[in-house]
């Protein structure tokens, strides 16, 4: 398996090298929204005399910069790409190979994140300076962040794949994608740190997977959680990742039986 | 008049095309409800913690959001589907067919293709504007409405001239989708008044990507923060922008080498 992955890695790096500018541009999309909401919350915070519900203006900056980094590291576009592959009949040859299509996507995903991470940090540094960021974390926040971001990235990736399998039945899944994106927008901590949204929204965020792939790692990286709370969040992430993996295996197997592309 | 009639013809053909995929059509409208609904929810969450944001009240913010979707809807209804085809035509060398037709080419390439379903965005945006207006509660005078309509028109034309300029670049660089992607990434910033942003972003939103002006100016007009001098300046700026963009377009056409040229 390791040897296969090494080969895939080399092949994908070569493929990705052709689209360097595109890769960096895609990054813009993950940066611009957090910056917009950061600016808005800064305005709100200033109107309220420098702090809102325990978040100071510089806390907002720390949160949204953390959110940008987490957003970048948890990006998964498979629900879009998979639909395209199914429609174009490109899935069939992939299914014939001995390796599950998922593995190609894993490598592609990792390479994109690795190549765009450095430019992202540069932009984040720029934002940090403009918004006077302050970090109030402890060393263990950073330690906790490592498993949290890994779980979050895996969770987001698996959710994208679960959604992708819907293509087997529906052919076009734009609407489902939009639904997921907009609910994520509402409940994953993009419009506000989850502590500031109404309680009923918090309940949805933490009982469904939304909080666990974006807000949770961002709060941990910002240094905004206690140790117990942080560990509890990790458990929540692990549980949802487990559920997503099970759901994917189930949906994949059932979906393949439905699959009827050209040549399948 | 002739151009209006042609535009009607374009719209009805595209409508027939779109109606071939009826299910998709309705789902797109459903998606738009989701998008606008969640955007309003975001503003509501913010205003649970404050009554004003840089001097903007909640009704004014709703109004602004309505204007944002109104402009986005307008641009996505006509200009962006048309311009997408232009870039394809330039790449494939099939722009020749457009050039041969006995009409103004700039008109043709800007309006030939419509994404009819986006008209729903216009309607929804308008509904949000009206809801915002009712909430603002003050009497909106004739002058204010006129200021609003004018600045909205100028705003759309500003965005149009930028898009035309970007598309024109395809004559020299062939692939400009990436530039357009930057533009779309920035448009998202239009959902908040341009004055909340830090200076570097405000400058780029008002000059490089005029979406900031296009959205904020009409909302300002309704809120009574825009005077005639402002609108005249905006109008003058728009005229200059459209002039420069269409000069650039004619320049670009001259360097076009089609499949048969």
What is the per-residue pLDDT across B164-185, written as a single tens digit (0 to 9) for each?
A: 988 888 888 767 777 787 788 7
What is the per-residue pLDDT across B89-103, written as a single tens digit (0 to 9) for each?
A: 888 878 888 888 888
Alpha helices (runs of H) in chain B, residue ranges in sequence order: 2-18, 22-46, 58-74, 80-92, 96-100, 105-111, 119-136, 142-168, 170-173, 177-187, 199-203, 211-222, 228-254
Rounded to an integer, the average pLDDT of B231-244 is 92
Residue B46 has pLDDT above 80, yes or no: yes
> How far is it, in rounded angstroms, from Cα A56 to Cα A44?
11
Task: Look up residue A94 and give its two tokens.
Answer: 């992939």
Rg (CA), chain A: 19
Query: Which of the pair, A171 or B74, is modelled with greater confidence?
Result: B74
Phi/psi for A23 (5° steps) reads -60, -45
Query: Which of the pair, A103 or A259, is modelled with greater confidence?
Result: A103
Residue A24 has pLDDT above 60, yes or no: yes
Categorize the per-residue pLDDT at B84 as very low, low, confident or very high, splitting at 50, 70 and 90.
confident
What is the per-residue pLDDT across A63-107, written as a single tens digit (0 to 9) for each?
A: 999 999 999 999 888 888 888 888 887 888 888 888 888 888 898
Give the highest mean pLDDT range of A248-252, B71-75, B109-113: A248-252
Q: Could you tell me whether strands A55-56 and B52-53 are parallel, antiparallel, or unpaired per DSSP bridges?
A: unpaired
Rounded to an integer, the average pLDDT of A146-172 is 91
Query: Which of the pair, B139 or A244, is modelled with greater confidence?
Result: A244
pLDDT of residue A137: 86
**Residue A218 maps to a domain:** yes
**Residue A88 maps to a domain:** yes
CB atoms B49 and A48 under 8 Å: yes
DSSP character for A133?
A: -
pLDDT of residue B244: 93
Q: For residue A201, what is the nearest residue in chain B, using CA coordinates?
A: B45
CB atoms A197 and B191 under 8 Å: no
B57 DSSP β-pair partners: B52
CB atoms B178 and A198 under 8 Å: no
pLDDT of residue B109: 83
- The residues, ordered by sequence, that sit 6+ positions from B11 with a Cβ below 8 Å of its Cβ are B114, B116
Q: Give percent of chain B above pLDDT 70.
A: 97
CB B43 within 8 A of CB B100: no
Domain count, chain A: 1
> How far is it, in rounded angstroms, from Cα A63 to Cα A195?
12
Diameter of chain A measured on Cα atoms: 65
Residue A175 has pLDDT above 90, yes or no: no
Ramachandran assignment for A41, one of left (phi > 0), alpha (psi -120 to 50 degrees), beta (any other): alpha
CB B259 within 8 A of CB B92: yes
A51 DSSP β-pair partners: A56
Domain boundaries defined on chain B: 2-254
A residues 15-34 lying closer than 8 A (beta carbon) to B: 21-22, 25-26, 28-29, 32-33
**Domain extent for A160:** 2-258
Q: For residue A126, what is the nearest residue in chain B, using CA coordinates?
A: B200
Q: What's the gap in Å between the CA of A34 and the closest CA on chain B?
A: 10
pLDDT of residue A37: 92
> How far is it, in rounded angstroms, from Cα A155 to Cα A245?
8
| Buried/exposed code over B134-159 (b: 16+ C-beta within 10 A; e: otherwise) | eebeeeeeeebeebbebbbebbbbbb
Residue written as tokens 């790096």?
Answer: A13
Q: What is the rounded average pLDDT for all residues in chain B?
A: 85
**Residue A264 maps to a domain:** no
CB atoms A39 and B49 under 8 Å: no
Q: What's the gap in Å between the CA of B170 and the closest CA on chain A?
A: 17
**Residue A263 maps to a domain:** no
Note whether A171 contacts B: Cβ–Cβ < 8 A: no
Weakest-pLDDT range from A82-96, A244-258, B243-257: A82-96
Categorize the per-residue pLDDT at A197 as very low, low, confident or very high, splitting at 50, 70 and 90.
very high
pLDDT of residue A212: 95
Interface with chain A: mutation pick from B40, B50, B194, highest number of A CBs within 10 Å: B50
Q: Within 13 Å and on the Cβ side, how many CA atoms surround A248?
A: 22
Residue A262 has pLDDT above 60, yes or no: no
Residue B256 has pLDDT above 90, yes or no: no
- The residues, ordered by sequence, that sit 6+ positions from B197 with a Cβ below 8 Å of its Cβ are A36, A39, B189, B205, B212
- The residues, ordered by sequence, that sit 6+ positions from A264 with a Cβ below 8 Å of its Cβ are A89, A91, A92, A95
A residues 195-234 lying closer than 8 A (beta carbon) to B: 196-198, 201
Q: What's the gap in Å between the CA of B148 and the closest CA on chain A?
A: 24
What is the per-residue pLDDT across A115-133, written as a single tens digit (0 to 9) for each?
A: 888 888 988 998 898 888 8
Rg (CA), chain B: 19
Residue B260 has pLDDT above 60, yes or no: no
Question: Which residue, A153, A155, A154, A173, is CA-closest to A163?
Answer: A173
CB atoms B188 and A186 under 8 Å: no
CB atoms B42 and A178 under 8 Å: no
Q: What's the gap in Å between the CA of B230 and the closest CA on chain A?
A: 24
Interface with chain A: mutation pick from B45, B55, B56, highest number of A CBs within 10 Å: B45
Q: Please report residues of A whose CB lies closer than 8 A to that of B186.
A: 32
CB atoms B49 and A185 under 8 Å: no
Residue A15 has pLDDT above 90, yes or no: no
Q: For residue A29, what is the nearest residue in chain B, using CA coordinates?
A: B185
> How far is it, in rounded angstroms, from Cα A76 to Cα A158?
9
Q: What is the rounded average pLDDT for all residues in chain A?
A: 88
Categorize the per-residue pLDDT at A261 as very low, low, confident or very high, splitting at 50, 70 and 90.
low
Residue written as tokens 């050039």?
Answer: B99
Phi/psi for A224 (5° steps) reads -100, 15
Q: Could you tell me whether strands A55-56 and A51-52 are parallel, antiparallel, or unpaired per DSSP bridges?
A: antiparallel
Question: Which residue, A90, A78, A92, A111, is CA-closest to A11?
Answer: A111
Rounded to an integer, the average pLDDT of A183-200 is 92
């Amino acid at each position: 398996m390791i040897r296969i992955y090494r080969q895939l890695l080399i092949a994908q790096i070569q493929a990705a090298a052709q689209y360097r500018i595109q890769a960096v541009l895609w990054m813009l999309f993950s940066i611009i929204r957090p910056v917009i909401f950061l600016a808005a919350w800064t305005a709100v915070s200033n109107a309220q005399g420098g702090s809102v519900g325990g978040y100071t203006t510089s806390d907002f900056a720390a949160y949204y910069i953390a959110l940008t980094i987490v957003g970048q590291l948890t990006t998964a576009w498979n629900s879009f790409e998979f639909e395209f592959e199914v429609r174009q009949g490109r899935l069939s040859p992939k299914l014939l190979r001995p390796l599950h299509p998922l593995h190609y996507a894993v490598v592609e995903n990792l390479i994109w994140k690795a190549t765009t991470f450095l430019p992202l940090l540069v932009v984040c540094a720029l934002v940090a300076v403009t918004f006077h960021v302050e970090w109030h974390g402890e060393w263990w926040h950073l330690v906790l962040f490592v498993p949290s971001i890994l779980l979050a990235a895996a969770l987001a990736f698996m959710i994208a794949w679960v959604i992708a399998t819907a293509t087997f039945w529906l052919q076009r899944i734009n609407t489902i994608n939009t639904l997921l994106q907009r609910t994520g927008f509402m409940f994953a901590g993009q419009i506000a740190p989850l502590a500031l949204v109404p309680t009923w929204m918090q309940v949805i965020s933490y009982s469904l997977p939304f909080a666990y792939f974006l807000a949770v790692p961002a709060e941990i990286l910002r240094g905004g959680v206690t140790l117990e709370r942080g560990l509890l969040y990790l458990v929540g992430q692990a549980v949802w990742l487990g559920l997503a993996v099970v759901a994917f295996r189930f949906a994949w197997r059932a979906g393949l039986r439905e699959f009827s592309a050209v040549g399948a | 008049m002739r151009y209006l009639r042609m535009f009607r013809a374009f719209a009805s053909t595209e409508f027939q095309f779109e109606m071939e995929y009826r299910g998709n059509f309705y789902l797109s409208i459903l998606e738009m409800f989701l998008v606008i609904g969640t955007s309003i929810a975001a503003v509501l969450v913010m205003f649970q913690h404050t009554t004003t944001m840089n001097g903007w009240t909640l009704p004014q913010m709703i109004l602004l959001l309505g204007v944002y979707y109104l402009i986005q809807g307008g641009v996505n209804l006509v200009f962006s589907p048309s311009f997408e085809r232009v870039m394809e035509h330039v790449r494939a060398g099939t722009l020749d067919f457009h050039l041969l037709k006995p009409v103004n080419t700039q008109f043709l390439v800007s309006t030939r293709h419509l994404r009819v379903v986006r008209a729903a965005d216009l309607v929804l945006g308008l509904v949000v504007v009206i809801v915002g207006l009712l909430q603002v509660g003050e009497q909106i005078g004739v002058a204010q409405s006129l200021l609003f309509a004018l600045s909205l028109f100028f705003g759309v034309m500003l965005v149009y001239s930028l898009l035309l300029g970007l598309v024109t670049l395809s004559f020299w660089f062939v692939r400009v989708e990436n530039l357009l992607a930057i533009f779309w990434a920035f448009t998202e910033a239009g959902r908040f008044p341009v004055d909340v942003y830090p200076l570097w972003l405000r400058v780029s939103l008002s000059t490089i990507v005029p979406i900031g002006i296009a959205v904020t100016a009409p909302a300002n007009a309704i809120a009574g923060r825009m005077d005639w001098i402002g609108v005249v300046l905006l109008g003058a700026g728009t005229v200059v922008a459209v002039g420069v963009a269409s000069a650039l377009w004619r320049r670009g056409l001259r360097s076009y080498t089609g499949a048969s040229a």
